[in-house]
Amino acid sequence: MESLKRDLQRLIEGEVVFDELSRTIYSSAASIYRIKPLGIVKPKHETDVIHLVKYAAERGIPLIPRGGGTSRTGNELGDSILVDFSKYMNRILEFEPKEQWVRVQPGMILDSLNKFLKPHKLFFPIDPSTKEYCTLGGMIANNSSGPHAVKYGATRDYVLSLEVVLSDGEVMTTRPVPLGRRESKDPETLEQRIYRTMPGLLQQYRKPMEEERPFTLKNSSGYDLWRLEAHECLDLTSLFVGSEGTLGIITGAKLRLLPLPGKARGGLIYFDSLDHVGTATQKLLELSPSMLEIIERQIIDLARKQKVEMRPYLPERTEALLFVEFEEGDRDRLPHKFIEAERLLVQQGKLATSIKVARNEEETAMFEKVRSISGPILNKAKGPKRPLAFIEDGAVHPSLLSRYIMGLREIFRKAEVEASIYGHAGDGNLHLMVFLDLREDSEAKKMLELTDACYDLILSLKGTISGEHGDGRLRTYYLRKQYPNLYPAMVEIKNLFDPDNILNPGCIVGGETNPLNQHLKYESQDQGRMRGTFFDKEVVRTAIETCSGCGKCRSYCPVVQKLPEEWAMGRAKATLLREFASGALDPKFFDSHQFKEVMDSCVNCKRCLTECPSGVDIPWVALSGRAHYLEKHGEPLSNRFFTSTRTLCE
């Protein structure tokens, strides 16, 4: 390990980090998994990436690109070198406002880009729930979308070209290349071999491409083979989008922009039966909404109990509600959209029981809180069973939405589990959170059984197991089920682009075993604990385990704003303490100066208490960690002097 670190430090101008605490901090993020990497490289520029890839290719060392660490699927984790783009490669490279495009590095935060674009009256329209802290490289890797996808589509629709470092260190810039064109170079480069091979491969698998294409409005499962050929050209841009770093490492992206949207207004539509939700969704799509979201009964009932101020907007005995938003350049046209929606759904169709339309800014803000209540309600749920995202991204055609939800409810009833359903009704993409305690072996087994049942349901409706989050460790094993005859094409493509399997191995193209319930964050009940420390208190362990690792602390922590380091984030503190508590990290590090430095990076501003989706009291967690250190080592002389008021006054 030391020789590997020294070699990379000679090659890389950026940072090379191989210490045990840093590797532990990077071992988990927003998914249910934890896998300690070999080390972390933070490249400063594309040349660093080229040197790293060439070095890794010569020695068969796997590499995993990493952005904000917000993936639910675990595709940024592995026993590999993580390539963290968030610290240095996070800038705008070119901007053409008249032509409405921008070229960015992969570590740039989406929210930062849109703040830059706003004075130019432009924006990048894809808006995942993590928009304040996710990176554009991660969005491209997963083909992310969000609640406005019903109007604006997914990331793939806005990527014009990519700069990609291939598995041998060669740099490719994607563009339309005329079919049949041959550039003569001797020897043949990897890029040339790719362009020579891909047309024949696509032709060979034309029939399964037609037969196994999901009947959905969105799809982020497997490689996109359907949009590569157009106008007698081959453009590999769409193939790299959604490839999760398995075909090449993206170092730059040229993105299409749109003018800022017009005025918007939202409304809530209530249903006393799930039978009508699919038909109602179809009717609303005819009116071209900019957002169409669904929340079903379990979350509505939880919100009524916990949020008194929302009760007037969440009637009792509501089976489901749709939040619909319309955008118009002319504000005066907005009321007509809702009048037509009420006519179609309530008066004429008898599909919905009623509709409420926001009348002013105050109600607009409340409607938005209702729309986005699912995450805060679920993340702050108490008890040993936590809401888990492992079948959270299936999508079906909106016309089949009612059948999908009723099928899910039946699966959860038979399995005797609690589960919450919400998501994007406009494109049939539902997010499911199932309450399980993965510290129990029986619950981990139930996770596998539920996954099989839910994916069978989705595929029976010709849906996709991933609408916008990608495959990662969660779903790669199941791609054979979704694409029984097309999956071999994906294997061939992986072997063509990455013959030595060094780029994010195990994602999209995986092995014969299912990694779904392996390397989980949560240990079984019989795992070792650190006795005689503050971990003995159940309240401490609960606080640590409540952190989902979502990464939102990147967007509000004042320390991280000035010091863009993973170890400065709130989730890093929770991760370290969780690993100590489980016995996975040697207790000697608990008494190290580096551990105290991580805990000291919290300035006790208390913003976690109001902005953390899980409500984790990171200041208290950090203070507890510091207290343990001081019990062992005592306070430094400088601290004792400046905190002793009596001494200073004498």
Which strand (E) or helix (H) includes residue 291? strand 291-296
Burial of 147-176, coded b for 16+ CB within 10 Å and e otherwise, reads bbbbbbbbbbbbbebbbbbbbbbbbbebee
- pLDDT at res. 526: 44
3-state helix, strand, coil in the chain (%, to 5): 45, 15, 40
- pLDDT at res. 163: 98
Give the SS3 label for residue 97.
coil
> From CA 247, how far away is CA 501, in angstroms rounded?
9
Would you give the distance in Å from CA 177 to the centre of its chain?
32
- pLDDT at res. 269: 97
Give the SS3 label for residue 558.
helix
> From CA 413, how far away is CA 611, in angstroms rounded?
34
| Antiparallel, parallel or unpaired: β 258-259 and 39-42 | unpaired
* CATH class of the domain whose range is 92-259: alpha beta
Would you give the distance in Å from CA 351 to the centre of its chain?
34
386-497 shares the fold of 263-371 = yes
Give the SS3 label for residue 160.
strand
Query: Which CATH number applies to 386-497: 1.10.3720.10, 3.20.20.370, 3.30.70.2740, 3.30.565.10?
Result: 3.30.70.2740
Average pLDDT value over all residues in the chain? 92
Phi and psi angles of residue 173, each rounded to the nearest 5 degrees, phi first: -110, 115
Domain boundaries, the chain: 2-84, 92-259, 263-371, 386-497, 534-637
> From CA 500, how far away is CA 53, in angstroms rounded?
12
Beta bridge pairs of residue 123: 258
Give the SS3 label for residue 544.
helix
- Is it true that the peptide bond before 187 is cis, omega within 30 degrees of 0? yes
> What is the CATH topology of the domain spanning 263-371?
Alpha-Beta Plaits (3.30.70)
- pLDDT at res. 535: 67
pTM value is 0.94
Cβ–Cβ < 8 Å for 39, 15: no
> From CA 503, how far away is CA 363, in angstroms rounded?
48
CATH number of 2-84: 3.30.43.10
Residues 6+ apart with CB under 8 A from 375: 129, 613
Tokens, residue 160: 């014009």
- State which residues of the chain have pLDDT below 50: 525-527, 642, 648
- pLDDT at res. 450: 97
DSSP conformational letter for 533: S
